Amino acid sequence: MINKILILLLIHLFGITSVWSINKDSLAKDLDPDPLEFVFKPQLSIGIGMMTFYGDIGSNHNGYHPTVSKLGYDLRLINPLTDYLDLGFYVLFGQVSSNERTVNRNLNFNSNITTGGLTLNYNFKHLLRKDRVINPYVHLGIESIEFLSKTDLRDAEGNYYNYWSDGTIRDIAEDDPNAASAVEIYRDYSYESDIREQNLDGFGKYAERTWGVHIEIGANLHTGKRIKLRVGTSMHFTFSDLIDGVTHQSVDNRAGDSKNDRILYTHFAATYDLTLPKKKDKAEPQEFDPIDIYRQDTLDSDGDLVVDLADYCANTPLDARPVDEFGCPVDVDKDGVPDYRDEQLDTPDTAFAKENGIAYSNEDFQLMYDRYYDSTGLFSDWNEERREWGSDPRDYEAYKKSIREKDTSTQQLFIVLGSDKIRTSANDLYKELSNKNFKVIERGDSVLYVIGGFETVDDMTDEIANLENDSIEVQGVVEVNTESDGELSEDITPVENYQSEDEADNEELVNEAQPTSTIVYRVQVGAFSRRLSLNVFKDLQDVVFVKGDDDLYKYYTGAFSDKSAAAMHKVNTSTSGYNGAFIVAFKDGKRISLADAGFEVNPDFDDSIEEDTVATVNAVNRELINFRVQVGAYMEQIPTDVLDMYLEIGNVYPKRDPSSGLTKYYIGKFQDYDQATNYKLELIEKGIEDCFVVGEFKGNIITAVEAIGLLNN
């Protein structure tokens, strides 16, 4: 039955390969393809199974199941030829064994088998669905077989096996005269005797190797891209009948049939694809032909005679012509500003240019340096809304927009009485404290004492006449930009001709003008031994100061005609941290007592009008004064590495200066100047060399000198 099945499989495989050969020949005639190229795509397979012997001993394994046999192992190297044909190289090694115990003969053998060969494998791939998981196959191969056969004739004690008719094995033959003393023994299945060496049938030293062909059927189970499992069975047809040492030429009852020996191998195996992923061929670089590209695209959207594909500057305006070969406006001096916007076409190579193409001068760099450090507050115009520590500088753009929307500034005229450079007597200045329009304008480190603001020249005619009647010399008239909140800007313009037409025509009327006798109430903040910037008292309204003959600077806030308003302002000033604030009254250019000014004065109150000759003690609340260390100022976003260095040192407080656009960064908060100075030295050792100490009063940044002046008063 097995022989018939194998013959049918051989016929089927031969038919398939013949059809494939015919189809290939016909295709070759029609299409004339290139010769088939062998590509090495190895697959390694390792299997284990059972080897069953079919031969003379055991009557072709009659009466036993095919799997009742010995273990075998196989190793295969498979390489695909086409999608459905593989070429395989394999080795198979194991043992076959058989035992025969009958009335006529008792034979046994065990043989070590080693075989290797070549197979052609057909997998039906072109006939089945591509998405299948199980793939059947048929193998046909030729092989070389080596065998080493032995038989079990003696036990471990060297006693020959004598098979008796009662089924026992004894150490003496059943027909021996001493059979009565025979002892029963048992086989040890050690197969110690070489069959060829026994030469029981006179075959001599025959070769223990032969050729064979085998056919195999089975199926592969695909479990992944590289791994598949295989189950199969193969019949190996040897060209020898001597594997078990028995042939049809054997003597007596040892004789067998004339068929050659066969071996059945049923196995399970795993296959791994060793093929490496195919490397993608690198595309050869193509030569770039710009002329060919230009031919393909001639669109010139901005009309500058440079096609869009080669135009580095799209949408070049008409007034920017001519352009260079890249379509960009010409920049002869290479200062980064195109010629059509360049107001200086010969900017030196070593200079940096502004947006208009004009080179920065030494004065420009000095101005930028002063703005960067700005320790005197010259470029600072802090807004009360921005005075909280930790304010977010990212809101600066929105803040500037709100300032522009609220900007309703006007131009006003002021009469200049004197300045810190043009000295005016203290008496003359004290006289003007009775004038509600008396003001002080700071411009950097300079000070102007003025009276104003007037809308026109005619409005200030009477005031000039009153000053001349009091023998106070008018130094000139200036025009100042006044903000909507009453603050005076630093934009000051001298007025050359400030005499009105009426005044020129009728000087007598001017000379007859007389000052009013209105009482003016002010709140004196304190008398200080050094001049403090008005920025220190930014939270107070209408702050003015006068330097007396005693070299003390007396600061006043507000100017009221109503004593109740003055009293309320004094209370607000005192409760906001100005401990030494008190009301003073002026009339007709002189200071008068509060009683004369209409106040009810307690008997124990010192209502003297004598001016203080010593500085005010504890003029401000000591707890409102602090010192900080400024570590940097940046126009744009602070560099990340600098910010990281600041954060490693301590808490950093940013403050945006609206006037300069700089964001200034401060570290530390100290009650004592010496502590702040020591901390500054520590920061210098850590690499922040440009840091310096500043003061803080009521959340407002002032200079360290001004903070010390407030403390030491």
pLDDT of residue 93: 94
Report which DSSP code applies to 48: E
Taking 3-state DSSP, the helix, strand and coil percentages for the chain, each rounded to the nearest 5, stand at 25, 30, 45
Q: Is the backbone of residue 499 left (phi > 0), alpha (psi -120 to 50) or beta?
A: beta
Joined tokens for residue 383: 């807004």
Report which DSSP code applies to 424: -
pLDDT of residue 37: 56
Return d(Cα 9, Cα 136) in angstroms, integer: 13
pLDDT of residue 281: 61
Whether 693 and 584 share a structural domain: no
Half-sphere exposure of 484 (CA within 13 A, CB side): 7
Contact 271, 45 (CB under 8 A): yes
**Which CATH number belongs to the domain containing residue 660 in this structure?**
3.30.70.1070
Q: What is the 3-state secondary structure (H, E, C) of 314-325?
A: CCCCHHHCCECC
**What is the number of other CB atoms lying within 10 angstroms of the CB of residue 347?**
23
pLDDT of residue 89: 95
pLDDT of residue 310: 79
pLDDT of residue 332: 86
Using alpha carbons, select from 527, 520, 619 the residue that is nearest to residue 574. Answer: 619
pLDDT of residue 153: 93
pLDDT of residue 632: 87
Whether 547 and 687 share a structural domain: no
Whether residue 571 lies inside any domain: the answer is yes
Whether 415 and 461 share a structural domain: yes
Whether residue 532 lies inside any domain: the answer is yes
Whether 672 and 563 share a structural domain: no
Domain end marker among 253, 273, 293: 273
- The ranges of the chain with pLDDT < 70 are 1-38, 60-61, 63-68, 277-297, 372-409, 420-427, 444-445, 483-491, 498-517, 659, 713
Structural domain containing residue 644: 622-711
Domain end marker among 574, 592, 610: 592
Determine if the peptide bond prior to 453 is cis (ω within 30°): yes
Return d(Cα 4, Cα 16) in angstroms, integer: 19
Which DSSP string do the residues of 223-234 spell out, in sequence order? -SSSEEEEEEEE
> Which tens digit of pLDDT belongs to each residue from 66-87?
656 899 999 999 999 888 899 9
**Which CATH number belongs to the domain containing residue 264 in this structure?**
2.40.160.20
- Maximum separation of any 2 CA atoms in the chain, in Å: 186
pLDDT of residue 637: 73
pLDDT of residue 16: 42
Whether residue 231 lies inside any domain: the answer is yes
Whether 559 and 673 share a structural domain: no
Whether residue 283 lies inside any domain: the answer is no
pLDDT of residue 422: 66
Whether 552 and 664 share a structural domain: no
pLDDT of residue 161: 92
Whether 518 and 634 share a structural domain: no
Using alpha carbons, select from 577, 536, 539 the residue that is nearest to residue 558. Answer: 539
Whether residue 343 lies inside any domain: the answer is no
Measure CA 29 to chain center: 63
Whether residue 346 lies inside any domain: the answer is no
The count of domains in the chain is 3
Beta-strand relationship, 476-482 and 446-454: unpaired
Using alpha carbons, select from 114, 127, 92 the residue that is nearest to residue 16. Answer: 127
Whether residue 401 lies inside any domain: the answer is yes
Whether residue 575 lies inside any domain: the answer is yes
Strand partners, 193: 151
Whether 236 and 143 share a structural domain: yes
Which DSSP string do the residues of 578-615 spell out, in sequence order? -TT-EEEEEETTEEE-TTTTT----TTS----PPPSSP
Whether 576 and 677 share a structural domain: no
Whether 560 and 464 share a structural domain: yes
Beta-strand relationship, 209-222 and 193-194: unpaired
Domain end marker among 254, 273, 292: 273
pLDDT of residue 609: 74
> Which tens digit of pLDDT belongs to each residue from 489-504?
666 777 777 665 554 4
Residue in the block written with tokens 């000014």: 597
Return d(Cα 518, Cα 437) in angstroms, integer: 13
Whether 562 and 470 share a structural domain: yes
Return d(Cα 261, Cα 240) in angstroms, integer: 6
Contact 13, 21 (CB under 8 A): no
Whether 265 and 207 share a structural domain: yes
- Phi and psi angles of residue 66, each rounded to the nearest 5 degrees, phi first: -60, -30
Return d(Cα 631, Cα 592) in angstroms, integer: 49
